Amino acid sequence: IVVSAGGTQEPMDPVRVITNRSSGKMGYAIAEAARDRGARVTLVAAPTNLPDPVGVAIRRVATVEQMRGAVLEACQNTDVLIMAAAVSDYRPAQVASQKIKKDKKVEGVTINLVKNPDFFLEVPKGVLRVGFAAETEDLLGNARAKLKQKGLTLIAANDITAPDSGFNVDTNQVTLLDSQGKEEELPLLSKYEVGHRILDRVTKLLKRQDSRERN
Nearer to ligand PMT, 27 or 39 (CB): 27
Residue 42: how many other CB atoms lie within 10 Å:
22
Among 43, 131, 176, 199, binds ligand PMT (CB under 6 A): 131
Among 34, 84, 139, 176, binds ligand PMT (CB under 6 A): 84
| Burial category of 55 from C-beta neighbours within 10 Å (exposed 0-12, middle 13-18, buried 19 and up) | exposed
Residues in the interface with ligand PMT (CB under 6 A) total 27
Among 26, 34, 62, 80, binds ligand PMT (CB under 6 A): 26
Decide: is 1 part of the binding site for ligand PMT (CB under 6 A): no
State the binding string over 156-185 for ligand PMT (x if CB under 6 A, else -).
--x-x-----xxx-----------------
By C-alpha distance, which of 153, 156, 122 is closest to 142?
Answer: 156
Please state, in angstroms and rounded to a whole number, the distance separating the CA atoms of residues 192 and 33: 6
Please state, in angstroms and rounded to a whole number, the distance separating the CA atoms of residues 179 and 156: 12
* Only segment of 52-60, 78-86, 95-103, 197-205 that touches ligand PMT (CB under 6 A): 78-86
Please state, in angstroms and rounded to a whole number, the distance separating the CA atoms of residues 143 and 134: 8
Nearer to ligand PMT, 35 or 63 (CB): 63
Among 3, 56, 62, 134, binds ligand PMT (CB under 6 A): 134
Catalytic residue flag (residue 172) = no
Among 80, 92, 146, 205, binds ligand PMT (CB under 6 A): 146
Decide: is 42 part of the binding site for ligand PMT (CB under 6 A): no
List, as one string, the DSSP characters of 83-132: E-SB--SEEES---SSPPPP-TT-------EEEPP-GGGGS-TTSEEEEE
Residue 151: how many other CB atoms lie within 10 Å:
13
Among 62, 75, 87, 199, binds ligand PMT (CB under 6 A): 87
Decide: is 116 part of the binding site for ligand PMT (CB under 6 A): yes
Question: What does the angle CA 78 – CA 61 – CA 83 come to, to the nearest 5 degrees?
Answer: 45
Q: Which residues lie across from 154 on neighbouring strands?
A: 130, 178
Decide: is 120 part of the binding site for ligand PMT (CB under 6 A): yes
CA dihedral 209, 127, 22, 145 (to 10 degrees): -70
| Residues lying near ligand PMT in the complex (CB under 6 A) | 22-26, 64, 83-87, 89, 116, 118-120, 131-134, 146, 150, 158, 160, 166-168
Residues catalogued as catalytic: 20
